Amino acid sequence: MRQEVGKNLVFVLFDGIKNSVFQSQVLAPLMGMLDAHSTIQITLVSFEQKRPSDKDLISIIPAHERLHCVISRRTPFVGKNGLKIASYQFGKLLAITQPDELIARGPLAGFVLLHAMRQLVGWQKRHGNASVAMPKITIQARGLCAEEYRYDRSFKRKSLLKSWLYKIVYGRLESIERDVFGTKFGLKDVVVEAVSPALKDYLIEQFQADPRLITIASKDIPQTLAQPTVVQWRAEVRSQLGIPSDAIVYCYSGSFKPWQCAPQTVQFFVERLRVEPKSFLLVLSGDHEIFAQELVKAQVPTDHFRVLSVKAAELYRYLAAADFGLLFRERDVINWVSRPTKMLEYQAVGLPVLHNNTIAILEKDERNVSSLQLCKRCQISSNISKESCCARSCSVPLSNCVSG
């Protein structure tokens, strides 16, 4: 596999530039490439359901003489035929740009890219240009598209008709993943970049992906911040928010959406506070009003929590005030193979992640702590019985999330 960076890179995505992780997981790595390689030209191709306004484009994507943005219309999802329309549009761009390297984010963008490349290769063979060099191709696997669709729909009320339609869409998404990560397109040396070893194993077992061509993503991981900066922020934020210097601060960063186990996290903290009086909960969320109501409802004293909505640029500063980052999820394959953005943010400021054994990559890292391990520590250090600590702190509040 070639490892060098091409001088003419085309990056294609299908989930839009307004996606919550676009800045950190797409744009930041691309800007890093521009800084590291003075001759590289990058074309970002985004298929959008609705074209962003010029104001949005300017605010989201910074001006750079070697970064070019192409916005193309995305048709409603109907399966492979709709993606082939996008592929036809993308193929025209390929003929013009003639890139050295192609990167697609996710299986839908991957299908568009691979289908366009297969058509281009076929055209070259028919016209006697079979010796033309192939660009380096990478498909970024950031999760499981069909399973995420299934999981998202599990929270919605549905009629028999909708259930039937959901199954059809699920099947089409899974078929696309099988084509992209398997050998359907017949293109050589297509690299798949998985976010975790667990996802790599899943792609090999379920879609017969070539293990020799799967790498683990690392370029989109935020850099760890300097310890002196973190220490300074810790003191500043604790003073600003009135958090005692000896408090054990648990931080939850995220929304109040069901899949993030926010209510269970609140219940977990209620039990932690009962056995650990110096506990303090710092919530960083756009859903600050809902969180505040939930904490008051749970009778958490107001001097033991703060709920804030902070700007993205200030996130790390506030995370630095904590001792643990909280990350609970339901037991589901989409969580098991994931590499949550929140995990990366916690780790960037050196926080151990307190989890509930539902994310494989967290279990492998000794810096992190499972909620069951934390309860065992309480039992040892505080002489608290298993019935009043482990059973209550873990099994009851996280009945839908924590593993047994």
Q: Read off the pLDDT band of 5 (50, 70, 90).
A: low
* Sign of the alpha-carbon dihedral angle for 342, 346, 347, 353: negative
Residues contacting 159, CB < 8 A, separation 6+: none
Is pLDDT at 370 greater than 70 in this prediction? Answer: yes
Residues contacting 208, CB < 8 A, separation 6+: 182, 183
pLDDT at 375: 53
Let me know if 160 is exposed, middle or buried by CB neighbors in 10 A (0-12, 13-18, 19+).
exposed
Is pLDDT at 4 greater than 70 in this prediction? Answer: no
- Tell me the three state secondary structure of residue 184: coil
State the average pLDDT for the chain.
87
Distance of CA 287 to the CA centre of its chain: 19
Is pLDDT at 380 greater than 50 in this prediction? Answer: no
Is pLDDT at 397 greater than 60 in this prediction? Answer: no
Of 43-47, 236-240, 309-313, the one with minimum mean pLDDT is: 309-313
**Distance between CA atoms of 185 and 191, rounded to whole angstroms?**
13
Q: Read off the pLDDT band of 122 (50, 70, 90).
A: confident
- Tell me the three state secondary structure of residue 228: helix
